[in-house]
Structure formats: C-alpha cells, structure tokens
Amino acid sequence: MNISIDVKETNRLVEVKVGGEIDAYTAPRLRETLFPLTEKESVTMIIDLSDVNYMDSTGLGVFVGVFKNIRSNNGQFQLRGLSDRLKRLFEITGLADIMDINSQIEGGI
C-alpha cells in the first residue's frame, strides 16, 4: 500500500499528481499534504488521478473535505485523469454532480 503525491504550487494554482492507492492507510498522508493548501483564498487546485489504481471511501472523504475547504475560500477544484472505475465511484456516490471531474481549467497539468 503506497501512494505518491507530487505538488507544484504557483501563485494561486496548485497542481497535484497522485499515484498508487488511496485507502485507509494512505489517505491520512494525502489529507496532511492537501489540507494546508486549501486554506488560501481563491486557490485553484487541480488533482491528476491518472496514476491511481485503487481508491476506497476513505479517499472519497479526503476529496470531499478538500473540495469543501476550497469552495469555502472561493477557490476552484478539479479532478482529472479518472479511470472509468474511479469515475464510476464518483458517479454512484453523487459526487460527480457537485465536483468538477471532466472540464478543463486553464493552465495546469
């Protein structure tokens, strides 16, 4: 069970590339990395999940918290590179209706 998290921060744009598995064991590390970045006003966070091969409900919880923090600080949040399996996970939980998992934000990865 491993995870890789690569963060690039430029002004108010935060690009994150996540790889590996997001589960009960790795989610705390992801949360600790992402949450401090959500506190800035009007930040745009783009998270690339194209190298994530597994995610459970703990991972969904991290992304819900990140999404809420960014929105409360007038920012934008986007997930990119979701496999069909991950996209389906967001769809069946209803998160695909409130989170941006498809469109492109200018700049970024």
| Mean pLDDT of the residues in the chain | 92
The rounded distance, in Å, linking the Cα atoms of 23 and 35 is: 17
The pLDDT of residue 107 is above 80:
no
Residue 95: C-alpha distances to residues 11, 63, 68, 89 (Å)? 28, 10, 12, 8
Provide the whole-model pTM.
0.90
Q: What is the reported pLDDT for 61?
A: 96
Domain spanning 3-97: CATH superfamily: STAS domain (3.30.750.24)
The residue type at 36: P
pLDDT tens string 29-53: 999 999 999 998 999 999 999 999 9
Confidence band for 102, pLDDT divided at 50, 70 and 90: confident
Picking from 25, 15, 71, 69, the residue whose alpha carbon sits closest to that of residue 46 is 15
